[in-house]
Amino acid sequence: MNVKKIKKIVVLATGGTIAGLAMDVDQPQNYKAAQVNVAQLLHSVVPAGLNVLTEQVAQIDSKDMSFAVWQSLLERVAHWAAQDEVQGVVITHGTDTLEETAYFLQAVLQPNKPVALTCAMLPANAPESDGTANLKEAFSWVQSMGSVGVSVVCAGQVHTGLAVQKSHSHKRNPFTSQAHVSHPASLQIPSVAQVLACTDWPHVALVFNHVGADGRMVRTLMAHDAPDGWVAAGTGNGTLHHDLEAALLDAQKQGAHVLRASRCAWGGVQSRDTDVLPYAGLLTAVQARVALVLDLIARRP
Ligand code: SIN
């Protein structure tokens, strides 16, 4: 007899406000992230007839997201996405570093099934908590096979993993995304195996251009604990104070990899004839930092 297997959706929980609890439900802004486990989180959320499998990969506030948790998450997403009976994966995550995790997972894994990251801006026990609605939307998105690859499902919108950014600190819908963002062709992507085997992650520092900027921070760090790479969040089209630029050129001569992004939320950096340092295209500074970390892992012998 040919028994048709019911497809599963896998939920990987990592913490965040979606799993947070307010001490006083009338003051939901005073809460602690990552308190509710995945079973409690899904209570009365899973649509009838859906076969759901859960794993608690981490239980953290995403401001504390680490490479070790990324490795665990990558390993679990890769594992489940490779199973025939799995339709897709839902990941619960804090909003604060969600864009970095989305970029990382999409760049490294490029999954051929839907992987939906979802989240909340209000803790689980707040009267108007948005977590349940976001989770339901993430399930629908994965079930509909709307698209393959990593997406972010939040507040009725779906963003692609490489393009999403948290652009508002407290609105219920904190994310926006730019069209046409892709991983820069000049930067290499390591294999899943290379990332999982990595015990010593590249140190890539982020520095801003601003009024009164100079190269002190770059020179000081290069003299003491030299980073492997620098991302400079430049002004406007990635422009840098002449002293910061000089310090970054020196860092480059010393072997550090340097990439220019923009501190503007939108538009990225376009190349100019006068460029002396490489640029990150449409990537935001935090996306460029993840991209450079991956490039440095991929280039290791
Ligand atoms: C977090 O990122 O874990 C806390 C904030 C949030 O989820 O909105």
List the chain residues with pLDDT less than 50.
1
β-bridge partners, 21 = 32
Q: How far is the CA of 111 from the centre of ligand 1 (A)?
A: 25
Closest ligand 1 atom number to CA of residue 60: 3
Minimal-distance CA residue to ligand 1 atom 7: 94
- How many angstroms does the Cα of residue 104 sit away from the middle of ligand 1? 18
Confidence at residue 99, expressed as pLDDT on a 0 to 100 scale: 98
Mutate to test the pocket of ligand 1, among 62, 73, 101, 154 (most ligand atoms within 8 A of CB): 62
Residue 166 Cα to ligand 1 middle (Å): 11
The tokens of 118 are what? 């979802």
Minimum-distance ligand 1 atom for the alpha carbon of 96: 2
| Start-end of H helices in the chain | 38-42, 67-81, 98-109, 131-144, 192-197, 216-224, 242-253, 285-298
The CA distance from 115 to 102, in Å, is 9
Distance CA 206, CA 262 (A): 11
- Give whole-number Cα distances, 60 to 195, 209, 250, 256, 291, in Å: 21, 31, 38, 31, 23
Ligand 1 atom nearest 121 alpha carbon: 8
Residue 227 to residue 106: CA distance in whole angstroms: 25
| Stretch(es) of the chain classified as CATH 3.40.50.40 | 200-299
The CATH class for the domain spanning 200-299 reads alpha beta
Whether 287 and 277 have beta carbons less than 8 Å apart is answered as no
Which atom of ligand 1 is nearest to 17's Cα? 7
Alpha carbon nearest to ligand 1 atom 8, residue: 95
Residues 153 and 139: their CA atoms lie apart, in Å, by: 9
Q: How far is the CA of 248 from the centre of ligand 1 (A)?
A: 33
At the second CATH level, the architecture of 8-177 is 3-Layer(aba) Sandwich (3.40)
The Cα 131–Cα 125 span in angstroms is 10
Residues 6+ apart with CB under 8 A from 284: 99, 165, 261, 262, 265, 268
Q: How far is the CA of 226 from the centre of ligand 1 (A)?
A: 31
pLDDT at 15: 98
List where CATH 3.40.50.1170 sits in the chain: 8-177
- How far is ligand 1, taken at its centre, from the CA of residue 171, in Å? 12
pLDDT tens column, 192-217: 999 999 999 999 999 999 999 999 99
Q: How long a stretch of residues is the chain?
A: 301
d(CA 67, CA 200): 10
Distance 65 CA to ligand 1 centre (A): 10
DSSP-based three-state secondary structure for 265: coil
* Spatial separation of the C-alpha atoms in residues 202 and 224, rounded to whole Å: 16
Of 295, 263, 255, which Cα lies nearest the Cα of 108?
295
pLDDT at 39: 96
* Nearest CA, atom 2, ligand 1: 94
Helix axes 216-224, 242-253, angle to 10 degrees: 20
Pocket of ligand 1 (CB under 6 A): 15-17, 33, 61-63, 94-96, 119, 121
CA pair distance 206, 108, nearest whole angstrom: 21
Distance (Å) from CA 102 to ligand 1 centroid: 14
pLDDT at 3: 52
Let me know if 201 is exposed, middle or buried by CB neighbors in 10 A (0-12, 13-18, 19+). Answer: middle
